Amino acid sequence: MNKSSIKHLFVPVCLICNISVIQAQSFDEYKKRVQSEFNQYKSDKEHEFKEYRDRINAEFAEYMRQAWPEYKSKPAEPVPDSPEPPKPVIKDPDTPPSNDPIPFDEVKPAPKPVKPPQPVVPLPKIDNLVPPIPNIPKPVEPARPTKPAKPIFTFTFYGQRCEMPLESIHWFTLKNATENAVADGWIVLSSDRYLPIVAQCLEYRDKLHLPDWGYVRFVEQMTTAFFSASQLNEARLMQMYILTQSGYKVRIARVGNKLVLLLPSKDKIYQYSYLNIGGTNYYLVESSSVQATINVFNREFPKEQDFSLRIAEQPLFAADLTVPRHLQSKHDKELTADVAINKSLIAFYNDYPLSNNWDIYANASLSEPVKKQLYPALRSSIAGKNNPTAANILLHFVQTAFEYATDDEQFGCERPLFADETLYYPYSDCEDRAILFSVLVRELLGLDVVLLHYPGHLATAVCFDTEVSGDYMMIGGKRYIVCDPTYINADIGQAMPQFKQTAATVIKTRQ
Q: Report pLDDT for 147.
A: 47
Under 8 Å between Cβ of 164 and 153: yes
Under 8 Å between Cβ of 478 and 461: no
Q: Report pLDDT for 46.
A: 60
**What number of CA atoms fall less than 13 Å from residue 4's CA on the CB side?**
0
User: Among 212, 309, 311, 316, which residue's Cα sits nearest to residue 510?
Assistant: 311
Q: Report pLDDT for 469.
A: 95
Q: Report pLDDT for 81.
A: 77
Q: Where are the beta strands (DSSP E) in 134-257?
A: 153-157, 160-164, 251-255
Q: Report pLDDT for 37.
A: 53
Q: Torsion angle, CA of 487/493/498/503, rounded to 10 degrees?
A: 130
Under 8 Å between Cβ of 361 and 311: no
* Full-model pTM: 0.86
Query: What is the rounded CA–CA span in Å between residue 362 and residue 483?
Result: 15
Q: Taking the chain (511 residues) in consecutive chunks of 10 residues, what is each chunk's mean pLDDT?
A: 50 54 63 56 63 94 97 88 76 89 94 84 63 43 47 90 94 96 98 94 96 97 96 97 96 95 91 92 78 91 92 92 96 96 97 92 95 98 97 98 94 93 97 97 97 95 96 96 97 95 94 63
Q: Report pLDDT for 143.
A: 45
